[in-house]
Amino acid sequence: MDTKIYRFYGIDVAMQMLRPGAKWEISNNVFTRWEDPRPCPSIEEVYWVMDKIKDFEESIPTIYLPEQLEAMNAQVKEIEEAIA
C-alpha cells in the first residue's frame, strides 16, 4: 500500500511561512480578515507555497510500520463515518 501523509501541507503552514504571526481569516479562497502591516498575500501565492510544501513532503521516502498504516486506516474510517 502506497500511503503518504502530509504533515505540513495546508493553508495555515503556508501562511506562517509567508507572513509569520499575521492574524487572518479566509473563506472561499478570499481573505475576510487581515490584521498585519505587511501586504496580504494573494490566494495564488498561498497555493504556490502549498505546492512547494507538497513537493517537499513527496520527496521524503517515508516508510510506515504495518501498525501505523492500520491506525491511519482506522482514523480515515472514523472520519468517513463522522461525515456520512
Distance CA 8, CA 57 (A): 8
Asked if residue 72 lies in contact with residue 3, where contact means CB atoms within 8 angstroms, the answer is yes
Distance CA 44, CA 47 (A): 5
Kindly report, residue by residue over 4-45, the tens digit of the pLDDT. 788 899 999 999 999 999 999 999 999 999 999 999 999 999
Grade residue 56 by pLDDT with cuts at 50, 70 and 90: very high
Widest pairwise Cα distance in the chain: 48
Share of the chain above pLDDT 90, in %: 67
Beta strands 23-27; 30-35: pairing state: antiparallel
Amino acid at 77: K
